Structure 1
């Protein structure tokens, strides 16, 4: 009876640790911690001994157990034998179904001891804990940059490989991340639910609106350590730093020309491909860049947003205004010379 009680208590203790996130079994080789000793032993066999008996014939990935290989093979075949009884959505393995069901029930059994935030899955809690610890165990073998999650590393590697597996079915533009594709799709749907209360400009996502609002507040929290120039978002600062370092990480495979930003490279590649994805619905004229398309549309709309501060004349293009300003500059120079010549 006492032995049975101890066994039950042991399982209870293990279960409680799943809620607290406490991991008391460290791997002596890499330092990674585990909830259970059996999980640590499995980790050592799979990651450090190199003994993987079952390998996938399609992608070559190896596994310690046949069950793990069987579950992995479903990713190639598309088989999803486990379904949610509430909504009918199907999944590759049972653990994925269990995690999904919590979306319907609202259950978040895994909580962070530090900030109290709760999660649907234990893996999500693990990933979250690295924010507090600053742990970044996944490093890029090419540039050395480190990441807190393997998925972030996989996404980062596409910068080096140039891989863009997510294409837009409407215009053919490709993206390295599914999130970027989803953002892009809103260009075609014109769905912009987030609007600025000050100027009324609309955005597809709230994060774009948050960055935009800083224009009105003059809030530029990201500053360059070299020249002191400030920016509204961190991505703009990162691009700006390359001006100082001379770094141009995006190169054209056809002509070798290098660029500061990925979208500059994408725009350049259209020159080689002859691709013009932006077409005018009124006259049918096509353009390789959205900025050229927007400028063209002002011709049909008779919109002239660039006005001369001296005479009030308006123009549809900024370079037309700049050329016009030279007329006033020449007049000023002529008047000054006339004044100087008067005795």
Structure 2
């Protein structure tokens, strides 16, 4: 068979047509143009595959699960999910991959190579697709539009994932607990809950992370870097996700809508958390007591009960807390801040819960009822105090005598008796010292 050689790079090709197609890599020629979005291609096959993004055509189907694909090359890669085949093996750490592209990207994590550089800001990337996606931050290009909600996206992968918000499709399943995901990278990260793997390590403080995004965000706490700037108010952010969420505070955009109750959200994370209030799903489990949670951050806080960790310390009194929210509330004792105000009478409160309970006094609402006697209360704390009458419980003990009270107020009233006695004794001692005649001195 006759072979054809490229004069530029020496590559051998089986036909003159293949050589002609190959030469476009060197010349940069892209004769195939999409009339819907203007994107150009050097190869007819790539152009046809791209066109299916707009038409939605997916002619290649998996005979094991029925999933369809727009490109023939995606089907054999997909089948590896079913077969478990991972033919690409890293000779440095032994990690295996289904995709050659993922394998190449992984190799760069060992050598620190980031060959793709942004012309606008100089930021470098290990993958060409990440550079393309990043560049759209500067160009604001979003060629992919959702026909269901109108949201526009900068890349086809994000568009595919976004569509699953509407369809509810979760094609990636964990073989250890059965939990399903709409994204393959979410499944990979989830599996680390089971394995305990934390592959990202900070060279400045040795802290380890299970997610690359969390590692990058953490690293910026050392460098102070905030590369994302809001052009409307000038506020800067270290995370792209936080920047996008902030931007929606200006636009009022809430693209995530709950199909069960109609509530809308500006953040995908908050939408997912909300959805679990309907489904009751609690995918995060404590490995020490097996208690389950709907959010990973709630699990992290819960684990501090077991470890005793209290990372939030008050610099005024030294008291420490295991939750940031409790620390913020405590600080108000020192500052006297009462940020919650009743719009009916103007009374202010340091706690949101106290304001809610107070508002019930205006509307006469008492949602907390005592089972033994049916007496109703406006707050759960009021019911708790009342219930001690029935149980005979007296948890507040006097440090000076055997007295114990049902409420803290009862204890305070009792302590005044000791204070009065102490004050009397002090005054009596002072009177005696005044009445005693001075001692005579002998001459």
Q: Sort the TM-score into its range (normalised by shorter chain).
A: 0.5 to 0.7
Deviation at 1:163, TM superposition (A): 3.0
1:234 to 233, 240, 253: 240
Q: Would the aligned equivalents of 1:171 and 1:277 in 2 still touch at CA under 8 Å? A: no
**Which structure 2 residues correspond to residues 94-173 of structure 1 after superposition, within 5 A?**
139-142=145-148, 143=150, 145=152, 147=154, 150-173=156-179
Structure 1 251/173 Cα, relative in aligned 2: closer, same or farther at 3 Å? farther
Match of 1:300 among 295, 301, 306: 306
State the TM-score, normalizing by the size of structure 1. Answer: 0.60
Kindly indicate whether residue 268 of structure 2 is the aligned counterpart of residue 265 of structure 1: no
Does the 8 Å CA contact 1:139/1:146 hold for their aligned counterparts? Answer: yes
Once the two structures are TM-superposed, the CA of residue 215 in structure 1 deviates from its matched residue by 1.8
- TM superposition score normalised by structure 2: 0.48
Which residue of structure 2 lines up, in the alignment, with residue 250 of structure 1? 256
Q: Equivalent residue for 1:198? A: 204
Q: Superposition pairs for residues 33-72 of structure 1, below 5 Å?
A: 39=44
- In 1, the alpha carbon distance for the partners of 2:321 and 2:39 equals 63
Shift of residue 256 of structure 1? Answer: 1.6
How far is 1:160 from its partner?
Answer: 4.2
CA separation of 1:139 and 1:216: change in aligned 2, threshold 3 A: same
Residues matched between the structures, number: 275
Give the CA deviation at 1:312.
Answer: 1.0
C-alpha distance after superposition, 1:139-188 (max 9, x if no partner)? 5444262545x445323433444433223344554432212221232233
Structure-2 change in CA distance of 1:17 and 1:153 (3 Å) = farther
Q: For CA contacts below 8 A with separation 6 or more, give which structure has more relative contact order.
A: 1
Judge conservation of contact 2:265–2:271 (CA < 8 Å) in 1: yes
Q: String of CA shifts for 1:171-230, please: whole Å, max 9, x gaps.
A: 554432212221232233221122112232212354542332222221111111222211
Distance of 1:127 and 1:280 partners within structure 2 = 35
How far the C-alpha of 1:238 sits from its partner, in A, is 0.7
Secondary structure of 2:193's aligned partner: helix
Task: Specify every segment of 5 or more residues in structure 1 that has no aligned partner in the other structure, as ranges.
Answer: 1-7, 90-98, 105-113, 116-123, 331-343
Larger radius of gyration: 2
CA distance in 2, matches of 1:151, 1:157: 10
The answer to whether the 8 Å contact 2:24/2:30 transfers is no
Aligned equivalents of 1:286 and 1:193: distance in 2? 25
**1:258 Cα offset (Å):** 1.6
Shift of residue 237 of structure 1?
Answer: 0.7
Unaligned runs of 5+ in 2: 1-13, 90-98, 105-115, 118-126, 337-443
Aligned to 1:277: 283
Measured in 1, the distance between the counterparts of 2:177 and 2:269 equals 15
Q: Once superposed, what is the RMSD of the aligned Cα atoms?
A: 5.0
Deviation at 1:281, TM superposition (A): 3.2
Change (3 A) 1:26 1:128: farther
Judging changes above 3 Å, is the alpha-carbon distance between structure 1 residues 20 and 269 closer, same or farther for their aligned structure 2 residues? same
1:83-136 CA distance string (max 9 Å, x none): x9xx699xxxxxxxxx97xx99xxxxxxxxx99xxxxxxxx9999999999897
Q: 1:158 to 1:55 in 2, by over 3 A?
A: closer
Q: 1:162 to 1:190 in 2, by over 3 A?
A: same
- For 2:298 and 2:131, locate their aligned partners in 1 and report how far apart those are by CA, in whole Å: 43
Structure 1 residues 308 and 253, CA, compared in 2 at 3 Å: closer, same or farther? Answer: same
